[in-house]
Amino acid sequence: MIKITKTSNPQYHDFDFSDIKFGQTMADHMFIADYEDGTWKNLRIEPYGPLTLDPSMMALHYGQAIFEGMKATKTYDGIPVIFRPHLHAERFNISARRMAMPEFPEDLFVEAIKTLVALDSNWIPRGDDAALYIRPFMVATDAQLGVRASNNYKMMIICAPAGKYYAKAIKLLAETTYTRAAMGGIGFVKAAGNYAASLLPALEAKKKGYDQVLWLDAKEHKYIQEVGTMNIFFVIDGVVVTPSVDSKTTLRGVTRDSIITILKDKGYKVEERRLSIEEIRDASIAGTLQEIFGSGTAAVVSMVQDLSYKDDVFHLDSKFEIATLVKKEINMIRQGQVEDKFNWLYPAVMDNSIVR
Ligand code: COI
Q: What is the Å distance from ligand 1's center to 203 Cα?
A: 17
pLDDT at 355: 43
Distances (CA, A) of 177 to 173, 174, 214, 312, 333: 11, 9, 11, 16, 40
Question: Does the CA dihedral 91-97-100-103 come out positive or negative?
Answer: positive
pLDDT at 128: 87
Radius of gyration of the chain (CA): 21
Q: What is the Å distance from ligand 1's center to 287 Cα?
A: 32
Determine the atom of ligand 1 nearest the C-alpha atom of 229.
Answer: 8
- Percent above pLDDT 70 for the chain: 98
Stretches where the chain sits below pLDDT 70 are 351-356
SS3 of 286, please? helix
pLDDT at 352: 58
Q: What is the pTM of this model?
A: 0.96
Q: How many CA atoms lie within 13 A of 30 on its CB side?
A: 18
142-166 residue pLDDT tens: 999 999 999 999 999 999 999 999 9
Q: So what CATH class is 2-166+339-355?
A: alpha beta
User: Which residue has a Cα nearest atom 7 of ligand 1?
Assistant: 229
SS3 of 148, please? coil
Q: Are strands 65-67 and 131-140 parallel, antiparallel or unpaired?
A: antiparallel
Cβ atoms within 10 Å, residue 42: 11
DSSP state of 276: B
Whole-number average pLDDT of the chain: 96
The CA angle 95-96-102, to the nearest 5 degrees, is 170
Sequence-ordered strand ranges (E) for the chain: 3-4, 29-36, 39-47, 65-67, 70-74, 80-83, 131-140, 153-162, 170-174, 212-216, 224-227, 231-236, 239-243, 270-273, 289-296, 300-309, 312-315, 345-347
Q: Which long-range contacts (CB under 8 A, 24 or more apart) does 331-337 make?
A: 331/128, 331/129, 331/300, 334/71, 334/73, 334/81, 334/83, 334/131, 335/73, 335/74, 335/75, 335/76, 335/128, 336/75, 336/76, 336/77, 336/79, 336/81, 337/76
**Domain ranges across the chain:** 2-166+339-355, 170-319
Determine the atom of ligand 1 nearest the C-alpha atom of 299.
Answer: 2
Distances (CA, A) of 320 to 86, 134, 332: 30, 28, 18
pLDDT at 356: 37
Residues with CB under 6 A from ligand 1: 69, 229, 296-299
Question: Hey, which CATH number is domain 170-319, 3.20.10.10, 3.40.50.960, 3.40.50.300, 3.40.50.720?
Answer: 3.20.10.10
pLDDT at 318: 87
